[in-house]
């Protein structure tokens, strides 16, 4: 008999029944008064959840589209932009910005490390930047940037828009938009919100909205704030067809977050992350990210000598857990495991147990049961 498979990659993350039930509802017209009311309520609740004044955009699309939306609305060809990258997905901003005709400067951390606020401030002193992008959590490394500390620095540069990529962090790591001085924050539905892929969520503060107005017409169409603001303020209006069932699913996700309590949710992510990491280290694995820089939503796990990546992940899948391969130079040398969203203790224990069973079947010598024992002591 085959084991049920837990999806423990860094996204899409597992969806709970009440969320999948919303995705399975009979679709209605996007102008249906009840749906319009639900959409409006969702937008308001998302602003409250992240302590964000300004606008919140919920749009059909991916996290990558959100990256483009963020950059497109606050920069124009010839502007300077500073990209702060902690890994593979931070680097993706380079291509997006160069295609936009921006002058790109790059602060690039070694994988597993992050760029310090001091390094960023030193770079900001060199010239005027229209915007700066910071990836809060990069799923290629498991490292998390100190976005609150960076935000304090950004208050000294009021003409620079502070963009935070929260795709692998929002709803799992603390990100309070106005409190942290963030001008644009964005994420995707499939990560810590625990919804299926399909929606981008972007918060734009007043400074970002003013910048958009000052630019005038932009060449981009679908991602233009000005096209979407009327719809977010009154979803009865039409610009492009909303993903009706995904809106319902995200609304249910926000309800679950509020039911748990945002602060309690962030604390849970921290506790689970630390427990999983200690369990993996007790077994004999190492983590790519420096301990002080580790995020709470995923781990990039380095193999000990003698473990073949493909063999390990294939056998792990047979044991009931789907993990992701590592990227770029770490491909074949590590695996990635997500622990964000609506996962419960049962899922965490099952994941560590499956890893232990896999190692036993591969003939890896270690203290059997140490992973589960460590988890019991820390979760």
CATH number for position 104: 3.40.640.10
What pLDDT does residue 1 have? 67
DSSP H helices, 183-261, are 206-215, 225-233, 244-260
* pLDDT tens digits for range 35-56: 999 999 999 999 999 999 999 9
Share above pLDDT 90 across residues of the chain, in percent, rounded to a whole number: 98
Are both 174 and 253 inside the same structural domain?
A: yes
Number of domains in the chain: 2
Are both 333 and 232 inside the same structural domain?
A: no
H or E element, residue 153: helix 147-154
- Domain limit, last residue, from 203, 229, 259: 259
Query: What is the CA angle 125-151-66, rounded to 5?
Result: 100
Residues in CB range of 122: below 8 A, 6 or more apart: none
Are both 246 and 272 inside the same structural domain?
A: no
Query: What is the CA angle 72-78-82, rounded to 5?
Result: 70
Question: What mean pLDDT comes out for the span 21-37?
Answer: 97
- CATH number of the CATH domain containing 362: 3.90.1150.10
Residue 42 domain-assigned? Answer: yes
Are both 55 and 198 inside the same structural domain?
A: yes
Residue 253 domain-assigned? Answer: yes
Are both 274 and 328 inside the same structural domain?
A: yes
- Domain limit, last residue, from 196, 224, 259: 259
pLDDT bucket at 157, cuts 50 / 70 / 90: very high
Asked if the model's pLDDT at residue 102 lies above 80, the reply is yes
**Structural domain for 352, as ranges:** 6-13+262-378
What is the DSSP-derived secondary structure letter of residue 242?
-
Are both 184 and 285 inside the same structural domain?
A: no
Is 92 part of any known ligand binding site? no
Residue 74 domain-assigned? Answer: yes
What pLDDT does residue 105 have? 98
Are both 27 and 134 inside the same structural domain?
A: yes
Are both 124 and 226 inside the same structural domain?
A: yes
- Distance between alpha carbon 303 and the CA centroid of its chain, in Å? 24
d(CA 278, CA 152): 32
What pLDDT does residue 216 have? 97
Query: What is the CA angle 268-137-59, rounded to 5?
Result: 95
* pLDDT tens digits for range 244-263: 999 999 999 999 999 999 99
* pLDDT tens digits for range 125-145: 999 999 999 999 999 999 999
pLDDT bucket at 5, cuts 50 / 70 / 90: confident
* pLDDT tens digits for range 59-95: 999 999 999 999 999 999 999 999 999 999 999 999 9
Residue 249 domain-assigned? Answer: yes
Are both 236 and 336 inside the same structural domain?
A: no
- Domain limit, last residue, from 244, 259, 274: 259
Are both 206 and 128 inside the same structural domain?
A: yes
Residue 1 domain-assigned? Answer: no
Question: What mean pLDDT comes out for the span 156-160?
Answer: 98
Residue 288 domain-assigned? Answer: yes
* pLDDT tens digits for range 262-302: 999 999 999 999 999 999 999 999 999 999 999 999 999 99
* pLDDT tens digits for range 189-229: 999 999 999 999 999 999 999 999 999 999 999 999 999 99
Residue 123 domain-assigned? Answer: yes
Asked if the model's pLDDT at residue 368 lies above 80, the reply is yes
Are both 222 and 284 inside the same structural domain?
A: no
Instruction: Return the SS3 of 31.
Output: coil
Are both 337 and 247 inside the same structural domain?
A: no
């Amino acid at each position: 008999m085959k084991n049920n498979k837990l999806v423990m990659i860094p996204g899409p993350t597992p969806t709970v029944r009440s969320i999948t039930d919303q995705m399975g509802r009979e679709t209605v017209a996007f102008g249906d008064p009840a749906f319009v009311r639900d959409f409006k309520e969702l937008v308001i609740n998302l602003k409250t959840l992240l302590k964000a004044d300004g606008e919140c955009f919920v749009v059909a699309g991916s996290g990558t589209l959100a990256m483009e939306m963020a950059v497109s609305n606050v920069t124009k060809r010839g502007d300077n932009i500073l990209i702060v990258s902690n890994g593979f997905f931070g680097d993706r901003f380079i291509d997006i910005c160069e295609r936009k005709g921006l002058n790109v400067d790059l602060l690039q951390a070694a994988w597993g490390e992050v760029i310090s606020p001091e390094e960023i401030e030193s770079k900001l002193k060199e010239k005027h930047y229209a915007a700066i992008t910071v990836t809060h959590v990069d799923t290629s490394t498991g490292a998390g940037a100190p976005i609150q500390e960076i935000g304090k620095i950004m208050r000294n540069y009021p003409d620079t828009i502070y963009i935070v990529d929260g795709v692998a962090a929002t709803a799992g790591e603390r990100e309070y938009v106005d409190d942290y001085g963030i001008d644009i924050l964005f994420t995707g539905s499939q990560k810590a919100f625990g919804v299926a892929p399909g929606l981008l969520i972007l918060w734009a503060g007043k400074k970002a909205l003013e910048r958009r107005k000052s630019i005038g017409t932009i060449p981009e169409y679908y991602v233009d704030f000005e096209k979407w603001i009327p719809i977010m303020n009154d979803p009865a209006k039409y610009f492009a067809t909303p993903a009706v069932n995904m809106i319902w699913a995200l609304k249910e996700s926000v309800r679950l977050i509020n039911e748990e309590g945002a602060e309690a949710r962030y604390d849970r992510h921290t506790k689970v992350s630390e427990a999983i990491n200690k369990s993996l280290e007790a077994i004999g694995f190492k983590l790519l990210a420096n301990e002080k820089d580790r995020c709470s939503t995923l781990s990039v796990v380095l193999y000990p000598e003698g473990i073949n990546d493909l063999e390990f992940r294939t056998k792990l899948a047979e044991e009931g857990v789907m993990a992701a391969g590592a990227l770029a130079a770490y491909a074949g040398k590590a695996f990635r495991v997500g622990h964000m969203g609506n996962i419960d203790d049962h899922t965490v224990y099952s994941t560590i147990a499956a890893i232990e069973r896999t190692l036993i079947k591969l003939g890896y010598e270690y203290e059997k049961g140490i992973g589960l024992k460590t988890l019991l002591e820390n979760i």
